[in-house]
């Protein structure tokens, strides 16, 4: 198990701050409204602020006339909140629960794992894999594996996926030993680099051969990083999609339209890292944290095993219609390019304060049901987090799309030389037929209720990658 940290709520961190600060003013900004100076949206709210003050901000219900001038730059408070993400709650240790591992591959994946460790995600073990020895020295993961020690001499893969793939094969047995006994493996990676793009499919193949439910959660590069890196990322996503049970893709380029022009690169990457953290925490805590309506690992496997493309939606709401509001925002997925339209398998988590009612749980679930396929299998859990006060949060993972959507611009053929091959003597597992291509489902919201986050349809989302990727 990784070093123990105080657990952050799923509802804390840069991404939660972004949601809270952009939900209310979304319509105004879309219409060219001015950035507000309203005292209800202060530039900074420190973690040591009076809880009543913080809850008071969340509970404000502005009138339609007040919404026009309402927004505050996320970056002004990101630096303050990232250092310690919210009120801490002691980790809950479970006995006999599933063995869940989060594997960061490459520089971007290693950085994402570091954020998760700092956030104190409980019930999981962390592993970092990289060709860059310096990056591994800074890793907070409980286990690190330096791949390609002979071929790269600890200097990285030079943005060459073939080098990253070969490096992972050098330490094939070591990776297999580290993953042995896992029930579920998350693979976090920044596509487009050398180690992450090349090594991630090898890690995924090993995890599935060991019988683990394998989920990829990856980012794609910014447009300014160049066509070559983008093409490498597309090929990497396609290759990885053929090796995992479920794959969630986050496009970094959308981050440019979400944050302010003066947002620093460091702060932007922190928000992007937090999206991966929210995704991993939102799924893992469904089975590691006891709730009002509990899920077991078999439920998660039912929804995510051998499913391909997936939607990850996160939304929150306050006030009288908070549950419906949170569900609609999760469905509209303002930070991810995906839609629930056509999803036949849905994993749903609803979290609220102590006053969360059964009626509200029903409202949220019904909103999600209306947005999915008529025959969708919906499995949901509900938890109470006293810190939330009046807020309700909804996390949804939608899978089971009948037709795997294509990447924008068309599918990417994976060259035969880049397909993963296991060493002689290693057990083979039957693989599903390669998909034509992988991408997020087409962008559309099919919920019958008008989306409260409709104005965010023009937003773009994060995807990150740092040095050594």
Q: Is 144 annotated as a binding residue?
A: no
Percent of the chain with pLDDT over 90: 28
Give me the half-sphere count of Cα atoms (radius 13 Å) on the Cβ side of residue 82: 21
Closest CA to 368 of 402, 404, 332: 332
pLDDT at position 44: 45
- 171-199 pLDDT, tens per residue? 999 999 999 999 999 999 989 989 999 99
> In which element (H, E) is residue 124 found?
strand 124-130
User: In residues, how long is the chain?
Assistant: 469
Q: Is 109 annotated as a binding residue?
A: yes
- Classified as helix, coil or strand, 39 is coil
The better pLDDT of the pair 53, 94 is held by: 53
Q: Is 196 annotated as a binding residue?
A: yes
Mean predicted lDDT score pLDDT of the chain: 73
Rounded average pLDDT over 279-289: 84
- 329-356 pLDDT, tens per residue? 888 865 566 567 788 899 888 988 888 8
Count of beta carbons in the 10 Å neighbourhood of residue 49: 12
pLDDT tier at 91, thresholds 50, 70, 90? very low
Rounded average pLDDT over 295-314: 86
Rounded average pLDDT over 218-230: 85
Q: Is 194 annotated as a binding residue?
A: yes
Is the Cα torsion angle 363, 368, 371, 376 positive or negative in sign? negative
Does the domain at 311-403+440-458 match CATH 3.30.1330.20? Answer given as: yes
pLDDT at position 415: 40
CB 321 within 8 A of CB 426: no
pLDDT tier at 7, thresholds 50, 70, 90? low
pLDDT at position 25: 53
CA distance 382 to 57: 25
CB 22 within 8 A of CB 258: yes
Q: Is 229 annotated as a binding residue?
A: yes
Rounded average pLDDT over 450-457: 36
Tokens 């104005």, residue located: 455
Dihedrals phi, psi of 424, to nearest 5 degrees: -60, 140
Q: Is 225 annotated as a binding residue?
A: yes
The better pLDDT of the pair 74, 353 is held by: 353
Q: Is 209 annotated as a binding residue?
A: no
Q: Is the pLDDT of residue 74 over 80?
A: no
Is the Cα torsion angle 297, 332, 254, 8 positive or negative in sign? negative
DSSP labels for 349-406? EEEE-TT--HHHHHHHHHHHHHHS-TT-EEEEEEEE-GGGTT-EEEEEEEE--SSPPP
pLDDT at position 140: 94
pLDDT at position 164: 93
Q: Is 88 annotated as a binding residue?
A: no
CB 469 within 8 A of CB 107: yes
Q: Is 195 annotated as a binding residue?
A: yes
pLDDT tier at 81, thresholds 50, 70, 90? very low
Q: Is 154 annotated as a binding residue?
A: no
Rounded average pLDDT over 261-277: 81
What does the DSSP 8-state code read for residue 448?
S
Q: Is 198 annotated as a binding residue?
A: no
Q: Is the pLDDT of residue 72 over 60?
A: no
Q: Is the pLDDT of residue 94 over 60?
A: no
């Amino acid at each position: 198990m990784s070093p123990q940290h105080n657990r952050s709520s799923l509802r804390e961190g840069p991404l939660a701050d972004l949601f809270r600060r952009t939900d209310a003013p979304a319509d105004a900004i879309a219409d060219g409204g001015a950035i507000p100076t309203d005292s209800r949206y202060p530039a900074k709210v420190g973690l040591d602020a009076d809880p009543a003050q913080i809850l008071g901000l969340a509970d404000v219900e502005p009138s339609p006339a007040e919404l026009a001038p309402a927004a505050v730059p996320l970056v002004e408070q990101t630096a303050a909140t990232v250092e310690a993400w919210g009120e801490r709650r002691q980790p809950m240790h479970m006995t006999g629960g599933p063995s869940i591992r989060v594997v960061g591959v490459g520089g971007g994946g290693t950085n994402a794992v570091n954020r998760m460790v700092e956030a104190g995600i409980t019930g999981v073990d962390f592993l970092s894999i990289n060709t860059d020895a310096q990056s591994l020295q800074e890793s907070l993961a409980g286990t690190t594996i330096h791949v390609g020690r002979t071929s790269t001499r600890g200097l990285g893969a030079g943005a060459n996926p073939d080098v990253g793939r070969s490096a992972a094969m050098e330490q094939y047995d070591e990776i297999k030993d580290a993953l042995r006994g896992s029930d579920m493996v998350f693979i976090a990676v920044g596509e487009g680099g050398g180690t992450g793009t090349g090594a991630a499919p090898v890690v995924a193949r090993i995890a599935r051969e060991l019988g683990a439910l394998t989920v990829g959660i990856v980012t794609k590069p910014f447009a300014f990083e160049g066509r070559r890196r983008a093409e490498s990322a597309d090929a990497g996503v396609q290759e990885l999609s053929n090796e995992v049970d479920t794959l969630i893709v986050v496009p970094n380029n959308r981050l440019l339209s979400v944050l302010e022009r003066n947002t620093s690169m460091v702060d932007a990457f922190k928000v992007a890292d937090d999206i991966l953290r929210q995704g991993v925490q939102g799924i893992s805590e469904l089975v590691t944290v006891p709730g009002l309506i509990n899920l077991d690992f078999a439920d998660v496997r039912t929804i995510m095993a051998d499913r391909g493309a997936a939607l990850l939606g996160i939304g929150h709401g306050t006030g009288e219609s908070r549950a419906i509001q949170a569900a609609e925002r999760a469905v509209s997925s303002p930070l991810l390019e995906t839609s629930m339209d056509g999803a036949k398998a849905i994993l749903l988590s609803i979290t609220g304060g102590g006053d969360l009612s059964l009626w509200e749980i029903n409202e949220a679930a019904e909103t999600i049901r209306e947005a999915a396929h008529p025959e969708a299998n919906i499995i949901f859990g509900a938890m109470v987090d006293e810190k939330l006060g009046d807020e309700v949060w909804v996390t949804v993972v939608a899978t089971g799309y009948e037709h795997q959507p294509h990447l924008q611009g068309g599918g990417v053929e994976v060259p035969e030389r880049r397909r993963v091959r296991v060493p002689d003597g290693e057990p083979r597992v039957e693989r599903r037929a390669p998909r034509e291509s992988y991408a997020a489902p087409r962008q559309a919201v099919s919920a019958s209720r008008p989306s409260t986050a409709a104005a965010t349809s023009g937003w773009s989302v994060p995807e990150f990658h740092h040095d050594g990727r």
